[in-house]
Chain A
Amino acid sequence: DAKTTQPPSMDCAEGRAANLPCNHSTISGNEYVYWYRQIHSQGPQYIIHGLKNNETNEMASLIITEDRKSSTLILPHATLRDTAVYYCILRSGGSNYKLTFGKGTLLTVNP
């Protein structure tokens, strides 16, 4: 079972920042937080991941709380093409590659 909790859906206006929350209150010390998104009828796309520090790349920023029990994915300037299901996933370090997906958050970006 997924160890993360996400809202089932969110709306965002085009050009505004989209902030997607994720709760992972039972996270272990060696578990990374990964974010993927899935646009309709395509495979999931990697966005970003982190362990305990905040991370930023060309797609998004990841903010992890100090106690690591929750995180927020930030899309700074959402576009219509960012409409997708966003998955927050915990993955252990080492050779355990398994990703356990929940149902994710359907983000709808409106014009």
Chain B
Amino acid sequence: ETGVTQSPTHLIKTRGQQVTLRCSSQSGHNTVSWYQQALGQGPQFIFQYYREEENGRGNFPPRFSGLQFPNYSSELNVNALELDDSALYLCASSFWTGGRFYGYTFGSGTRLTVV
């Protein structure tokens, strides 16, 4: 098992810019979710993808978008960055089949700072 890897580990962007964060899922996993974790808070669900289609979304505006690729890697894109978007962004992958869900494996996250 290779685990979940995220890149970059740290990033600084200017307000109004766009950012793309990347995630490589654990081998064999077909589901990926993204979470935002502000300082001192628990992670908040952004959205999830199953077989390249979004099938769940949290309370985040449309400027947060994503993609999942055939190899199950994924991207999180954030447009028009705001200062409040500064957070740790976590990617989590899992395997789901026939109604059976297995626990998520989280990456170590990307620390995004918007200035």
Taking beta carbons and an 8 Å cutoff, which residues of A are in contact with B? Answer: 2, 34, 41-46, 49, 87, 91, 93-104
Q: List chain A residues, Cβ under 8 A from B45.
A: 98-100
Partner of B42, one of A42, A49, A101: A101
The chain A residue with its CB closest to the CB of B101 is A97
Contacts of A96 in B (CB 8 A): 56
Q: In the complex, what distance in Å separates the CA atom of A103 from the CA atom of B38?
A: 11
Residue of A nearest to B47 (CB): A98
In angstroms, Cα B92 to Cα A17, docked, is 29
In contact, A97 and B43 (Cβ under 8 angstroms):
no
Q: In the assembled complex, how far is the CB of residue B87 from the closest CB belonging to chain A, in whole angstroms?
A: 13
**Known A101-B43, A104-B42; contact A43-B99, beta-carbon cutoff 8 A:** no
Please list 21 pairs of residues, one from A and one from B, whose beta carbons are closer than 8 Å in the complex, sorted by A's number.
A2-B42, A34-B103, A43-B4, A43-B90, A45-B106, A46-B103, A49-B103, A91-B101, A93-B101, A96-B56, A97-B33, A97-B48, A97-B56, A97-B101, A98-B48, A99-B35, A99-B43, A99-B45, A101-B43, A103-B40, A103-B41
Q: What is the 8 Å Cβ interface bit string for chain B, positions 22-37, against chain A (1 contact, 0 not)?
A: 0000000001010100
Point out the residues of chain B lying under 8 angstroms from A34, CB to CB.
103
Residues in B whose Cβ lies below 8 Å from that of A91 = 101
Q: How far is the CB of B91 from chain A (nearest CB, A)?
A: 8
Bound CA span A91–B30, Å: 19
Whether B55 and A44, one on each chain, are in contact in the complex, defined by CB atoms closer than 8 angstroms, is: no
Q: Known contacts A96-B56, A97-B48; is A87 also within 8 Å of B42 by CB? A: yes
CB of A102 within 8 A of CB of B42, answer: yes
